[in-house]
Amino acid sequence: MDLTKQFPRAGEQMLAGYPWLPRMIDKCRAYTEGSLGDYIFPCPIDMQVLTELDVTEDEFEAAVRGTETDVEVLERLGIPEENPDPAVAAWTREFIENRGNSLRHQAEEEGRV
């Protein structure tokens, strides 16, 4: 993924019950390919998600490297594609509530609104 030519997916987009995870995968792919542009990986929000996933930056990078799909990344991380865990749902609600304004601002900056 070349983030000098396109935007990563929206922060509110979900994967396996987690917001931000698709965006973080995009940023990590760009980071490993040397095409991160002005984006930061791992940024503070990435670190918050990594903490919730109980995965280190290096483990996440290794899981993303060489994959083509999100499902491959989830499999490498041992995260179920469908995640009915109530703790994940609660974390997601809190994440969205705490970051709603910044997610909207980000969408505006990236021309998604």
* 51-87 pLDDT tens trace: 999 999 999 999 999 999 999 999 999 999 998 899 9
pLDDT digits (tens, 9 = 90+) for 80-107: 999 889 999 999 999 999 998 889 888 8
CA-to-CA distance for 18 and 21, rounded, in angstroms?
6
pLDDT digits (tens, 9 = 90+) for 6-15: 999 999 999 9
pTM: 0.94
CA-to-CA distance for 29 and 66, rounded, in angstroms?
9
Using alpha carbons, select from 60, 61, 24, 57 the residue that is nearest to residue 39.
24
Specify whether the CB–CB gap between 20 and 45 falls below 8 A: yes
Confidence of residue 48 (pLDDT cuts 50, 70, 90): very high
DSSP 8-state secondary structure symbol assigned to residue 100: H
